[in-house]
Amino acid sequence: MNRKNIIKINPSNIDIEKVKIAAKIIQKGGLVAFPTETVYGIGADTFNKNAITKIYTVKRRPANDPIIVHLSNFEQLNDVVLEIPPITYKIVDKFWPGPLTLILIKNPLVPSEVSAGLPTIAVRMPSHQIARSLIELSGKTIAAPSANLFAKPSPTKANHVIEDLGSEIDLIIDGGKADIGIESTVLDLTGDIPTILRPGGISFENIKSIIPKLIVAPKYLSFSSDTNQESSSSPGMLVKHYSPIAKLLLFQGHECIVLEKMKRYIDTFLKQGKKIGILCVNEEIKYFQSTDIIIYSLGSIKNLSSIANSLFDGMRTLDNQGINIILVRSYSEEGIGLAIWDRLYRAAEGKVIKADTLNPDI
């Protein structure tokens, strides 16, 4: 791809001159898409209201969905938050820079457009070297949501950003594939009990080892999977999110039964002339091999990080092949597995097909 608004930067050998071009665009109120360790972001100067408004417009994002502010050093935290509760230091020491976003009380000087009118603000310090140097060289904090069209799977490669927003932003930095491939964990520190509002790149277990009283917002636990409700504490986190264009069917239950049930669904859909795609692990490919379906491998079942890393790319790859229905099953909910579960649950629009017994009907 050779377009004027795309520059390639090697994350392990950063060309500072190229980053400076991007930093200038941020300073002048432009929009730059850049890689982070989680997913690509579309960034603007936090304090430039026009630029922030433009982010909402190009993403077609509802105005009630607040944006995360990205920092390159701890001092910048004071620019965007009103107070730093003592627990913050403990958490930041262990997890920053990295895929953890904190919700804190907003500094009133931050434009209300960034926080969608909330009195709180989301902040994170990414570990990706390109993101870090972009923030540093711009001399600003950078407000950046994921660089996808609203409700589409997040972008883990520059090509995904080009597909969704290509012509509408000033510059796209192509820094290769995102390492984690799933968004940051969002941790709310404004209440009495630290609460995970969105599972992500840092696991619940990992944070709990530092803050034992940590809880996860109940809607993220699978036993509440059929509640299909919205959380008032986290506006914008709608159930319909991360959806491919194809309908995604999420199966859950005992492995053997689930795979058998998925095969029965596939047979029925094929008879109806539907184009079927499967997201599954290497170990399961043999169950589905047939000339009539397209299989995207998420890697090995032994490697949850690889499943996380390829999930969004898998949804987009199948969509690009004109699939009508994607079938996928849930995997372990441990570690990053909880974030995988959450993204699948949302892509399935909150519907789960339980497969504990095999009925004659499907």
Neighbours of 54 (CB within 10 A): 19
- Nearest-CB residue to Mg ion? 146
Q: Which stretch binds ligand TXA (CB under 6 A): 13-21, 114-122, 169-177, 326-334?
A: 114-122
Angle (nearest 5°) at CA 12 between 9 and 16? 50
- Which of ligand TXA, Mg ion, none does 234 bind, CB closer than 5 to 8 A by kind? ligand TXA
Report the residue from 23, 38, 130, 199 that binds ligand TXA according to the rule CB under 6 A: 38
In the shown chain, the binding pattern of residues 101 to 140 toward Mg ion, with x for contact by CB under 5 A and - for none, equals: ----------------------------------------
Q: Which stretch binds ligand TXA (CB under 6 A): 134-142, 180-188, 244-252, 283-291?
A: 180-188
Alpha helices in the chain (DSSP H): 16-27, 49-59, 77-80, 87-95, 129-138, 158-165, 204-208, 255-271, 285-288, 304-320, 337-347
For Mg ion, the closer of residues 197 and 325 by Cβ is 197
- Which of Mg ion, ligand TXA, none does 327 bind, CB closer than 5 to 8 A by kind? none
Q: Which stretch binds ligand TXA (CB under 6 A): 36-44, 74-82, 160-168, 260-268?
A: 36-44
d(CA 152, CA 145): 13
Pairing outcome for strands 100-105 and 120-124: antiparallel
Report the residue from 115, 133, 159, 243 that binds ligand TXA according to the rule CB under 6 A: 115
d(CA 120, CA 258): 42
For ligand TXA, the closer of residues 186 and 276 by Cβ is 186
Tokens, residue 335: 């570690």
Q: Taking a C-beta distance cutoff of 8 angstroms, is the pair 259, 308 a contact?
A: no
**Residue labelled with tokens 């991007």:** 22
By CB under 5 A, tell whether 146 contacts Mg ion.
yes
Smallest separation (angstroms) from ligand TXA to the CB of 13: 23
For ligand TXA, the closer of residues 201 and 277 by Cβ is 201
User: How far is Cα of residue 78 from the mean position of the Cα atoms in its chain?
Assistant: 26
Per CB under 6 A, contacts with ligand TXA among 120-139 are: 120-122
Per CB under 6 A, contacts with ligand TXA among 141-170 are: 144-146
Strand order in the sheet with 293-297: 293-297, 276-280, 325-329, 247-253, 352-355
Tokens, residue 194: 């630290």
For ligand TXA, the closer of residues 172 and 355 by Cβ is 172
By CB under 6 A, tell whether 118 contacts ligand TXA.
yes
**DSSP β-bridge partners for residue 329:** 251
d(CA 340, CA 337): 5
By CB under 5 A, tell whether 36 contacts Mg ion.
no
Smallest separation (angstroms) from Mg ion to the CB of 122: 12
Q: Is the peptide bond before 86 cis (omega within 30 degrees of 0)?
A: no
Report the residue from 39, 161, 307, 344 that binds ligand TXA according to the rule CB under 6 A: 39
Smallest separation (angstroms) from ligand TXA to the CB of 152: 11
Q: Is 69 exposed, middle or buried (0-12, 13-18, 19+ CB in 10 A)?
A: buried
Per CB under 6 A, contacts with ligand TXA among 189-208 are: 197
Smallest separation (angstroms) from ligand TXA to the CB of 107: 12
Distances (CA, A) of 261 to 35, 124, 257, 315: 38, 41, 6, 21
For the CA atoms of 37, 40, 46, 51, what is the dihedral angle to 10 degrees? 170
For ligand TXA, the closer of residues 31 and 293 by Cβ is 31
Residues that bind Mg ion (CB under 5 A): 146
Interface with ligand TXA by CB under 6 A: which residues? 36, 38-39, 41, 65-68, 99, 101, 103, 115, 118, 120-122, 144-146, 183-184, 186, 197, 234, 236-237
